[in-house]
Amino acid sequence: MKPTPFEFHAPGTLDEALELMASLPNSRAIAGGQSLMPMLNMRLVMPDHIVDLNGIETLKGIRDLGATVSIGAMTRQRDLEFSDLLRARVPLLNEAILLVGHRQTRNRGTIGGSLCHLDPSAELPTVCMAMDATLVAINGSGRRREIPMREFAVDLMTVSLDEDELLAEIHLTPWPAPHGYAFVEFGRRHGDFAIASAAVLLEMDNAGIVTRASLTLGGVGVVPIRLTAGEALLVGSACEAPLLDAVAAEVESCDALDDPAYPAAYRTRVARRLLRRALGVAIARATSERVNS
């Protein structure tokens, strides 16, 4: 199908874009367009105005700020994939990015677009939830608002941006090296939306005791889910198998999405297995990194 008629605007600066968004009724901002364009073509959204963010250079790029890494909202998934900085400092993101769509969609798709679209099974929101990312929004009067990912992801494909705000930056705080990490997912074909995914981050002390843990599920709930009870169980443990099984069992208590193709019970079962697998990978990595460092 083809989109319904709309007027196209291509601002060159963020200020111009914010002004357009504030003044134009029924407008939508377009980032990489890898989700919005299908929705336009299928007439699931019918805006009167499209504001193109692709010409705003200040929204692009990956910067090392020392304690944090700042990623412009219009940075393409391709640039995340090939970033030496992210590969070295945020290996979880590097592992996840190769599961985002295909080469042809990563070449255009952006991190900000993926976060604002907030598909429940999308990888980048899951990574940002796992990393406790801070998202920076800017509004028409130039006010910067920092939003923790847990507050940004409100509900199914719904984010906490105000109508006059655009997402400008994503701040990630890399976990110190060495740490364990894993991102695993299951879908019916490569590049399909995942039925479920699991992201694990682990820090261990010299004795192999977990000192910090982050466990996140994607595709299971309406937004990525942090398993806080499982994280608490892990910290202070030596990752014995029965404990890991108990950690993975927390998945059963999640309120899982339910549809005819993938009933909640199936999603939950897949997610539980994925989490257990991700835990194994992250622990192995944390252990070998610790031994080698």
Bond prior to 224 in cis (omega within 30° of 0): no
Using DSSP bridges, classify how beta strands 158-159 and 62-64 pair: parallel, antiparallel or unpaired: unpaired
Cα-based angle 96, 99, 101 (whole degrees, multiple of 5):
130
Q: Identify the residue among 14, 29, 34, 100 touching other proteins (CB under 8 A).
A: 34
User: What does the radius of gyration of the chain's CA atoms come to, in whole angstroms?
Assistant: 19
Under the binding rule (CB under 8 A), the answer on residue 211 touching other proteins is no
Cα–Cα distances (Å) from 61 to 74, 152, 173, 199, in that order, read: 8, 21, 16, 24
Helix (H) / strand (E) element for 218: namely strand 210-218
Which amino acid is residue 258, in one-letter code? D
Residues listed for the chain: 293
Closer residue to other proteins, CB minimum distance, 27 or 268:
27
Nearer to other proteins, 30 or 247 (CB): 30
For 115, 149, 241, the CA distances from 161, given in Å and listed in that order, are 11, 11, 42
Task: Scan residues 59-88 and list those touching other proteins (CB under 8 A).
Answer: 78
Residue number with CB closer to other proteins (4 or 288):
4
With contacts defined by CB under 8 A, name the span among 49-57, 124-132, 143-151, 260-268 that binds other proteins. Answer: 49-57
For the bound state, the minimum distance from the C-beta of residue 48 to other proteins, rounded and expressed in Å, comes to: 7
CB of 222: closest distance to other proteins in angstroms?
A: 22
Indicate whether 57 belongs to the interface with other proteins (CB under 8 A): no
Among 189, 206, 240, 292, binds other proteins (CB under 8 A): 189
Name which of 212, 223, 198 is nearest 148 in CA terms. Answer: 223
Give the residue, chosen from 15, 54, 157, 273, that forms a contact with other proteins under the rule CB under 8 A: 54
Q: Point out which residues bind other proteins (CB under 8 A).
A: 1-8, 10, 30, 33-34, 37-38, 40-42, 48, 50, 52, 54-55, 78, 101-105, 107-108, 189-191
